[in-house]
Amino acid sequence: MQIQTGKRIELIDITKKVQKYISETEVQNGICVISTKHTTTSIIVNENESGLASDILTLLDKLIPAHAGYAHDRIDNNADAHLKAVMLGSSETIPVIASILLLGTWQSIFLAELDGPRTREVTITVVSND
Ligand code: ZN
């Protein structure tokens, strides 16, 4: 699944796209692995609330400011994006029951763009337990 991002750093809610993908498979019960193919993006699960999204991005910039003397900046100038991606992780695994992602009321799945904007590839793998 391709996602076009619009900013250098942002959270994009991909829950509906993942659910649509599952709905188009024959799988009723199993697990869904959502994974990014990039080293400067992450997949996370949290609440879709604009203030919280801002807080998460602000925290990442406080913990890992850009251009803080990183070795990787000498060849690619985006070390902070890689380091943020390491902290957040590259995939999430969500149970699927009756063809529905088993998320809590306040849980959404996000692609975290950390060095955009770019076209990004997110892989969805559904493993059936039917
Ligand atoms: Zn790099």
**Do residues 130 and 29 lie in contact, with contact meaning Cβ atoms separated by under 8 Å?**
yes
Report the separation in Å between the CA atom of 122 and the middle of ligand 1, taken as the mean of its atom positions: 19
pTM over 0.75: yes
78 CA distance to ligand 1 centroid (A)? 5
pLDDT in tens, the chain (130 residues): 999 999 999 999 999 999 999 999 989 999 999 999 999 999 999 999 999 999 999 999 999 999 999 999 999 999 999 999 999 999 999 999 999 999 999 999 999 999 999 999 999 999 999 8
User: Measured in angstroms, how far is the CA atom of residue 40 from the centroid of ligand 1?
Assistant: 8
User: In angstroms, rounded to a whole number, what is the distance separating the alpha carbons of residues 99 and 26?
Assistant: 8
Any residues with CB less than 8 A from the CB of 89 and at least 6 apart, and which? Answer: 42, 43, 44
Contact 125, 15 (CB under 8 A): no
With tokens 């019960």, the residue in question is 29
Q: Cα of 80 to ligand 1 centre, how many Å?
A: 9
Q: What is the CATH number of domain 2-128?
A: 2.60.120.460
Question: CA 45 to CA 52: how far, in whole Å?
Answer: 12
